[in-house]
A and B are shown apart, each in its own frame.
Chain A
Amino acid sequence: MITFKVNKKKVSVNDDPDTPLLWVLRDTVGLKGTKFGCGKAFCGACSVHVNDTVVRSCSFPVKYAEGKNITTIEGVGTEDELHPVQKAWIEEQVPQCGYCQSGFIMSTVKLLEHNPDPTDEDINKSITNLCRCGTYYRVRKAIHLAAKLKKS
C-alpha cells in the first residue's frame, strides 16, 4: 500500500510502485483533470504539485508519493471560489481545445507563489508547457492578470 494525500484527502493505493503518478491519479483516484500528453516529461500536460514542487506526473513513480501532499487541478480552487489563476484563465479566454491547460495552470500557480510579479522573461523561463493550439499569447496575458488578481 502506498499512502499519500491528494487535494488534502488521504488516499491509499495498491498500484505497482513504478506506475507513473499520472495514471494513479486518473485511473485509481479518479481525478481526470490531469492529462496524459507526451509521456516523456516534455509537454507538461500532466503537471501536478508534489509538496511544493511542480512535477511532471508521467515521470514520477507513485512509490515516491508515499507520505507526500499531491495537489491536482481539482484542488487548486473550489467551485464556489476559483483560484485567481483559474479566474484569469476564464477572463482572458485562454483555452482553445483546453487539453493542456490544467498543466499550464498548475505551473502558473506555483510560479506566482514564488514570484508574485513575473516578467515576460520569468514566464518564458518557468512556463515551458506545450500547447498545440498555440495559446501562448493568451497564457502570458492571463498570468499577468492572475498576478494582479492575487494581489487584490
Chain B
Amino acid sequence: MRRKNDPLLKMLKKRWYFLFFPLLILASVAYSASLANSNKSGYVPITVQDSTDRERSLKLFGEVAAVLRHPRCINCHPSDDYPRQGDEMRRHMFNVQRGNHGKGVIGMKCISCHGASNNLASGVPGAPEPDDPLKSRWHLAPLSMGWIGLNDAQLGKRLLDKEQNGNMSPQDLVEHMEEDPLVLWGWDPGEGREPIPIPHDEFVEILKEWVATGAQVPTEDKEPKK
C-alpha cells in the first residue's frame, strides 16, 4: 500500500489531468468505434420466428425486386443524377439532370416535356395526376431511393429503411405501390414502352403477402432463389 507521501500519489493529486486527457482520448476512440459498428441507418430488420414464413417472405421479395428493377420503375430511381430512358435503360437524352428535388433544372424541368398524361402526338410519357401538366408530379425518386446497381440485399434494406424511404412503413410501401399514379403509370406507359409484365393487382397481392410474412429481405451474403 502506498504511503501518503508517495511521490506518485502526490503527482497524481497535483496533476490529475495527466490521467484525464488520455482517458478522454480513449473514450472518444471507443465511442467512434461503436458508431462505426452500429447500424446508423433507419433500417431495422424484422425478426420472424417461423422459418417457413421467412423463406416464403424471401421468395416473395424476389418477385417484388424483379418489378422494382423493371425499366418502368428503376429508370426514375437512379443512383446518380441522371434519369434513364427506354427499355434498355439508357441515360436520358439531352443531358437531362436531376436538378432541385428531382424535378430538373431551370429551362429543362421534367414538366417542360412530361405532362399530365401519355402524349399521343409526341410519344412523351406522363402520369395522370393532377390534370395540369404544370403541376405534374413527374420527377426522379430522391437519391436515397436510388436502386440502380444494388443487389437484392441492398435493395431490400434501402426499401425498408425509414430514414431513406420517406419514413414509410412496410404497409405504407404497399399503399404507395398500390395507389400512387406514378407507380401505376408503370402498367400504362404508353406506346413503345413495355408495361410491367405482372398484372398490378397480382403485384399488390405479392406485396401484401410479403409484408404479412414479415417483409423479409436477404442478408448481404445470401441472395434469394429466383
Contacts and interface: CB of A to CB of B under 8 A. Distances in A.
Interface of A: 18-20, 39-42, 47, 50-51, 53-56, 58-61, 64, 68, 107-108, 110-111, 114-115, 122, 124-128, 130
Contacts, number: 85
A54 B123 CA distance: 19
A111 B107 CA distance: 6
B106 A126 contact: yes
Nearest to B95: A128
Interface of B: 93-97, 99, 105-109, 111-113, 115-116, 119-124, 132-134
Contacts of B115: 59-61, 64
A55 B106 contact: no
Contact of B122 (A41, A64, A127): A41
Mostly, the B contact residues are: loop
Contacts of A19: 121
Nearest to B123: A40
A18 B115 CA distance: 12
Nearest to B122: A59
Shortest beta-carbon contacts, A-B, top 3: A126-B107, A59-B122, A128-B94
B162 to A, nearest CB: 32
Contacts of A53: 109, 111-112, 134
Contacts of A56: 112-113, 122
Contacts of B132: 64
Contact of B124 (A40, A115, A127): A40
B134 A51 contact: yes
A149 to B, nearest CB: 18
A114 B106 CA distance: 7
Contact of A125 (B105, B111, B120, B121): B105
